């Protein structure tokens, strides 16, 4: 793969990672409600899910999802249900008395990572995205090293972006302000996640 071709791939992956959606909401909630480490854990685990979708796309497995409507729909509904579950959890947490007085880190890092991983694994639109993206870069005579490079590029870009989000939103002054308004942040996150679930479930 030439440098210019790889830079084109890199740019598209960066833009794709930066697009707002449920993944961003999950990483932000983990960062604000728990800690920077929780946000990074969620972001890195999300990147693993993205990497899995990318790998399946490169090797043709994701076509089963993008070409078979029932499989695509089932995964979409599962993802929507998970978003609703996360949204309800955020709203319930917002309703907890003295939420501002609670200590950060009440969830484990494993729980944060699990939320990040599932939000990407239960998003079949990633299969469609990578199918459309990689079709511009995959060729019949392509060597396996180029395929690995494509998967690693998508994975590292995604993890780096969400880790950066966690670092930026965990700056002391901003984090202190967000935690003072944690009840409103949780309420907004819950509403956004449930709204995104409705949008996912109803094309």
Segment 136-171, tens digit of pLDDT: 777 667 788 888 999 999 999 999 999 999 998 888
State in Å, rounded, how far the first CA of the chain is from the last one.
36
The candidate with the shortest Cα–Cα distance to 133, out of 36, 192, 50, 72, is 50
Instruction: Output the pTM of the full model.
Output: 0.75
Query: Are residues 121 and 49 in contact, defined by beta-carbon separation less than 8 angstroms?
Result: yes
* Euclidean distance between CA atoms 99 and 178, whole angstroms: 12
- The per-residue pLDDT for 44 is 96
The yes-or-no verdict on residue 176 having pLDDT over 80 is no
The per-residue pLDDT for range 119-129, each reduced to its tens digit, is: 898 887 787 77
* Euclidean distance between CA atoms 180 and 186, whole angstroms: 12
The yes-or-no verdict on residue 101 having pLDDT over 50 is no
The per-residue pLDDT for range 3-18, each reduced to its tens digit, is: 888 888 888 888 888 8
* Euclidean distance between CA atoms 84 and 121, whole angstroms: 16
Query: Are residues 133 and 60 in contact, defined by beta-carbon separation less than 8 angstroms?
Result: no
CB atoms inside a 10 Å sphere around CB 4: 8
SS3 string, 19-86, reads CCCHHHHHHHHHHHHCCHHHHHHHHHHHHHHHHHHHHHHHCCCCHHHHHCHHHHHHHHHHHHHHHHHH
Alpha-carbon dihedral 99, 165, 167, 150, rounded to 10 degrees: 140
């Amino acid at each position: 793969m030439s440098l210019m071709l790889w830079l084109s791939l890199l740019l598209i992956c960066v833009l794709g990672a930066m697009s707002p959606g449920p993944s961003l909401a999950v990483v932000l909630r983990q960062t604000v409600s728990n800690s920077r480490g929780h946000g990074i854990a969620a972001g890195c685990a999300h990147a693993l899910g993205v990497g899995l979708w990318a790998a399946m796309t490169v090797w043709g497995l994701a076509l089963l999802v993008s070409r078979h409507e029932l499989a695509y729909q089932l995964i979409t509904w599962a993802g929507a249900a998970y978003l609703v579950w996360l949204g309800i959890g955020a709203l319930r947490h917002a309703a907890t008395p003295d939420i501002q007085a609670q200590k950060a880190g009440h969830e484990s890092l494993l729980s944060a990572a699990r939320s990040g991983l599932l939000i990407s694994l239960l998003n079949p639109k990633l299969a469609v995205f990578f199918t459309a993206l990689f079709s511009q870069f995959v060729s019949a005579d392509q060597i396996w090293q180029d395929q690995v490079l494509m998967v690693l590029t998508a994975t590292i870009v995604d993890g780096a972006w969400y880790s950066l989000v966690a670092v930026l939103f965990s700056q002391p002054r901003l984090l202190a302000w967000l935690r003072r308004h944690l009840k409103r942040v949780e309420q907004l996150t819950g509403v956004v996640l449930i709204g995104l679930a409705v949008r996912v479930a109803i094309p």
